[in-house]
Amino acid sequence: MRKRQLLILPLLLSATLAMQAQRVTISCHNRAAESAFKELMTQSGKNFIYPAGLLKGVRVTVTARNEELRTVLNRMFSGTGITYTIRGNNVVLKRDKKKASTQPKKKTAKAPEAPKSVTVSGFVREKKSGEALTGATVHDPASGLYTQTNATGFYSLQTRPGSLTLIASYPGFDADTVSAGTRRNVNFSLREGGTALNEVVVTADKNRSLTMESPSIGALNLSRADILATPALLGESDVIKTLQLQPGVSAGVEGLAGMYVHGGNADENLYTLDNVPLYQVNHFGGLFSAFNTEAIRTVDFYKSSFPAKFDSRLSSYMDVHTRDGNMEKFSGSFKLGLTSGALSLEGPIWKGHTSYSVAVRRSWYDVFTVPVLAIVNARKETDTKTIFRYAFTDVNAKINHRFSDTSRAYVMFYYGNDFLKGGSEDKPGHHNYYYEKEVNTLSWGNTVASAGWQYTLTPTLLGQLTASYSHYGSSMKRESKDGDVDDKGDFYNLSVERLRSSNNIDDISARLDFDWRPGGGNNVQFGASYIWHTFLPQRAHRSLEGDEYSAEVLDEGRKYRASQWDFYLSDDWQPLECLRLDGGLHFSLFNITGRTHSQLSPRLSARLTLGGGWALKAGYAHTVQYVHQLQESSLSLPTDRWIPIIGDQKPASADNFSVAAYFDTKAGWTFSAEAYLKKMHNLLEYRDEHYLLPPEATWDNTLCAGRGLSRGIDFKVARHWGALSGHVAYSLLWADRTFADRNGGKTYPARFDNRHKINVLLCWKINDKWEVAASWTGMSGNRITLAMQDWEDGGFGPWNNNMTLVEGINNYRLPFYHRLDLSATRHTRHGYWTFSLYNAYCHINTIAVRRDYADDYQWVTDQWGNQTMTLRPVFQKVKLIPVIPSVSYTWLF
């Protein structure tokens, strides 16, 4: 170890020297120190952190022109009794101890040896609501040591003993300074604000520290405000649509909440809601995701290097933390948009101890369609009643109880469901001799119930126990009746056909997670989980009843039960100021149909901070996946079944290699370049001509295993500066697949092999009333399979059509896709209006290509001399979404 440190030391030295070489220009005479620092902050992009009162009455005089920051600071503090240290992007100010040590010391009796260090722990929460703040910084200005909170708001800081004063800060919030004295449990409550330079200001974006400080590559933290600030289709902010603006994340088909990360498939993303995995995260057609923004507190997203805690998916992890509820006072909001309404309520049940949070979102199409159809169906001239209803619902509910400063528990419930019903029924009396009724019903969604208990076992160790039950289900029903009606209106010759199909997953799980901060720059996370899965990939039942006959078919509806064990251990260790390592292991066991699959998933990522705002990172992550969703299309259809691996199928796995470089400028810009190589093994896809096999009973035979390869690089330039923030991102991607039983065994490009993708996002808070945002997306088109040739039908089937000849999967790339979205938010006394324009310059993008016929008829003469009017066969671009204006109002109370 010593040897390694010796090797690193020269590097660190050079890095430190380079880091201090930032240059600033300033001229001030007897100016308040706070004001001078504000100017330096603007130029250097650094945060100035100092205890309250330190700068009170301090005035500085300095003139510098393009001089090093350190030189300027030396001159400013000369004779003030204040010293400083530069740590990463922070400039930490404190009283000069040398000066203090020059004071004569009183002789005292030899006291017992004091401990070398003490550990202070606690939580950082929002003052207004009591919600935990993830990624907040807790800092001891005396020692210069600092740490960050985890997703539960927990921190643990090992620092020097003595009478402590700690400062907690979080972007967008006023810092909170607590004189801890000898207390070892210190909680912070931060007040929203943080726009003025007062005691301590942290202006940096939380993701900037994630980028520059953390060893993670491609990690992102989103708050509810971040999601709300992103312009979205129909004004419905959505976490997945926000993530689609990130480099390396493809959106799939326009308008849908699809997510394809680094060339992976849609089912390779793990979505967890308060530690519970969800299977179905899209409402009808994927237009909206199942995550109601009103219920979200914060979201962690990982796309390159993954914490050891997560496994079970190959490409990305999205960890959604819901709101705990306001411990202090009742509050709520009601939002009405063009497609849905949302009501959110939260407040204390027992002030300071117990809170609740309820968020309900529901589409309201049926509010119009039901009465409209009632009127239409009531018209005498119509012979047939039309039956139609569609609705989606999300309910998030949570009760949170704080037993003490170290113990907290919650129960959480989530229900998300889509319901689509359509059909028709002949009106009695209109068809005297014939009657027909057909009703089709589709329903799908998730139900989750979970409970968790969080306990601070020691000041350095936080434990969390979670138990949950989740149900995913999709079902389709059809009932059709037809028969004759006699003069009295009685039915005869009645034939009734009933069909029912379902796909379910039931999970019962328990997990234990620990966050241990033993000091020495270590943050150890470990835990274990068990999931009892019950999969029902497909059950179909059909029956036909007539007056004198009946038939019934029940296709195989075998349930597969599986046990999944997961264990993980990781250590995020910072041995040196410039070096941070995060290594871990995830071990999983999956037992199904008497077979046990085991996988060891190592994780390693490292960050090396160089001088001048540079940081380098490298990472490796092995991931594994035991369940798959069979997608027949890029739409999110209820037919897309979730299935486990069975029989000879092997778990899918991926090896993710990534390297990254980051540059953080003094002017507040952050540049990043993240390159990755992802090798995927044992991917499952439908084999060529899988549709030739019967749809039920042999579903596993319709699949084949293969491999995938993705490589690319994500560039991003972000700036978070006062009222203006945003980013420009560019992704370069190659993604392909090779399956022995697909495309004749030849390698083919993945469907969302979007070679180039550019995203520009700008958010500007003009004043307290107005905020505007603009987002531009441009990317290489998705790939589709286009059958270019036809062959003559032999005429052996019931109809005579031309047959298609497919010569290569995903052989055509759709035209370049681009659009601009704009939004403006107007804050009022009781809430805010959101106005948005989706596809502002109305470039209607191509989402597909179809084979059809031209609109105009032409006369043609056949080889036998016959003349016929015919339509010419043509390839047509299918363009879907024009400019869509929308408005919503959110009432806050």
Partner 1 sequence: MAILRKSLYLLPAALLLPLFTSCYEDFDPGIKTTPKVCLNALLTADSTFKVSVTRTWRYDSGDPGYDFDIILKDAHVTATFPDGKMVELQYAEKDKYQPTPIEDPKERGYFCTRAPKAGETVTIRATHQQYGEAEATVTIPLPVEIESVKPRLLNLYKEETANGLSAKFTLDMSVVFTDPADSVDFYLFGLEHSHGLSKYYDEPDGSVTQGYAYISSYNENLSAEPLFHEHMSVLETIFGESYGYSMFSDRQISGRQYGLHIVAENTSIRINNPKHDPDFDNVLYFDTQLMTISDSYYYYLISVWNHYEGIGGTLGDAGLGDPVWEHSNVSTGAGVVAARNISSRRVYLEPLLK
Contact between 408 and 327 under an 8 Å Cβ cutoff? The reply is: no
State which of residues 194, 215, 231, 255 lies at the interface with partner 1 (CB under 8 A): 255
Based on the shown chain and the rule CB under 8 A, indicate whether residue 465 belongs to the binding site for partner 1. no
Based on the shown chain and the rule CB under 8 A, indicate whether residue 849 belongs to the binding site for partner 1. yes
**How far is the CA of 141 from the CAs of 144, 177, 437, 705, in angstroms?**
5, 10, 76, 56
CB of residue 258 to partner 1, shortest distance in Å? 12
Stretch that binds partner 1, among 1-9, 79-87, 723-731, 853-861 (CB under 8 A): 853-861
Contact set for partner 1, span 95-154 (CB under 8 A): none
State which of residues 349, 667, 740, 878 lies at the interface with partner 1 (CB under 8 A): 878
Beta strands in 260-406 (DSSP E): 260-261, 269-273, 276-278, 296-302, 316-322, 331-336, 340-350, 354-363, 384-404
- Under DSSP, is residue 433 helix (H, G, I), strand (E, B) or coil? coil
- Integer Cα distance of 317 and 221 in angstroms: 12
DSSP 185: B
State the number of CA atoms in the 13 A half-sphere of 729 facing the CB.
Answer: 24
Stretch that binds partner 1, among 120-128, 150-158, 181-189, 798-806 (CB under 8 A): 798-806
**Site pattern 324..343 for partner 1 (x: CB under 8 A):** --------------xx----
Contact set for partner 1, span 16-35 (CB under 8 A): none
Q: Decide: residue 143, CB within 10 A, 0-12 exposed, 13-18 middle, 19+ buried.
A: middle
State which of residues 57, 111, 796, 865 lies at the interface with partner 1 (CB under 8 A): 796
Ramachandran angles phi, psi of 506, nearest 5°? -120, 125
Place of tokens 């993710």: 656
Give me the count of residues in the chain.
Answer: 893
CB of residue 882 to partner 1, shortest distance in Å? 6
State which of residues 701, 877, 887, 893 lies at the interface with partner 1 (CB under 8 A): 877
**Contacts for 798 with CB less than 8 Å, ≥ 6 apart:** none
- Under DSSP, is residue 31 helix (H, G, I), strand (E, B) or coil? strand
Stretch that binds partner 1, among 23-31, 393-401, 451-459, 628-636 (CB under 8 A): 628-636
Nearest to 312 by CA among 625, 532, 97: 625
- Residue closer to partner 1 by CB (options 620, 812) is 812
- Residue closer to partner 1 by CB (options 528, 844) is 844
Nearest to 839 by CA among 293, 234, 241: 234
CB of residue 383 to partner 1, shortest distance in Å? 19
State which of residues 98, 381, 692, 829 lies at the interface with partner 1 (CB under 8 A): 692
From the CB of residue 269, how many other CB atoms can be counted at a distance below 10 Å? 23
State which of residues 113, 548, 648, 768 lies at the interface with partner 1 (CB under 8 A): 548
- Integer Cα distance of 165 and 144 in angstroms: 11
- Residue closer to partner 1 by CB (options 349, 805) is 805
- Integer Cα distance of 377 and 388 in angstroms: 11
From the CB of residue 859, how many other CB atoms can be counted at a distance below 10 Å? 8
Based on the shown chain and the rule CB under 8 A, indicate whether residue 873 belongs to the binding site for partner 1. yes
**Site pattern 484..513 for partner 1 (x: CB under 8 A):** x-------xx---x-xxx------------
Nearest to 515 by CA among 151, 848, 775, 766: 151
Based on the shown chain and the rule CB under 8 A, indicate whether residue 547 belongs to the binding site for partner 1. yes
Based on the shown chain and the rule CB under 8 A, indicate whether residue 368 belongs to the binding site for partner 1. yes
Stretch that binds partner 1, among 60-68, 103-111, 137-145, 859-867 (CB under 8 A): 859-867
CB of residue 289 to partner 1, shortest distance in Å? 17
Based on the shown chain and the rule CB under 8 A, indicate whether residue 365 belongs to the binding site for partner 1. yes
- Residue closer to partner 1 by CB (options 127, 498) is 498
- Integer Cα distance of 630 and 206 in angstroms: 37
State which of residues 73, 809, 837, 840 lies at the interface with partner 1 (CB under 8 A): 809
State which of residues 385, 430, 755, 851 lies at the interface with partner 1 (CB under 8 A): 851
CB of residue 812 to partner 1, shortest distance in Å? 6
Nearest to 761 by CA among 775, 747, 751, 772: 775
State which of residues 9, 13, 803, 887 lies at the interface with partner 1 (CB under 8 A): 803
- Residue closer to partner 1 by CB (options 405, 547) is 547
Contact set for partner 1, span 755-794 (CB under 8 A): 784-794
Give DSSP secondary structure letters for 83-110.
Answer: EEEEETTEEEEEE-HHHHHTSPPPP-PP
CB of residue 91 to partner 1, shortest distance in Å? 51
State which of residues 806, 818, 831, 843 lies at the interface with partner 1 (CB under 8 A): 806
CB of residue 555 to partner 1, shortest distance in Å? 9
**How far is the CA of 698 from the CAs of 438, 474, 534, 556, 692, in angstroms?**
29, 19, 19, 9, 11
- Under DSSP, is residue 695 helix (H, G, I), strand (E, B) or coil? coil
Based on the shown chain and the rule CB under 8 A, indicate whether residue 638 belongs to the binding site for partner 1. yes
Based on the shown chain and the rule CB under 8 A, indicate whether residue 431 belongs to the binding site for partner 1. no
Contact set for partner 1, span 648-687 (CB under 8 A): 686
- Integer Cα distance of 708 and 731 in angstroms: 19
Stretch that binds partner 1, among 30-38, 617-625, 703-711, 846-854 (CB under 8 A): 846-854
**How far is the CA of 410 from the CAs of 286, 842, 846, in angstroms?**
30, 47, 47
State which of residues 221, 601, 609, 639 lies at the interface with partner 1 (CB under 8 A): 639
Based on the shown chain and the rule CB under 8 A, indicate whether residue 553 belongs to the binding site for partner 1. yes
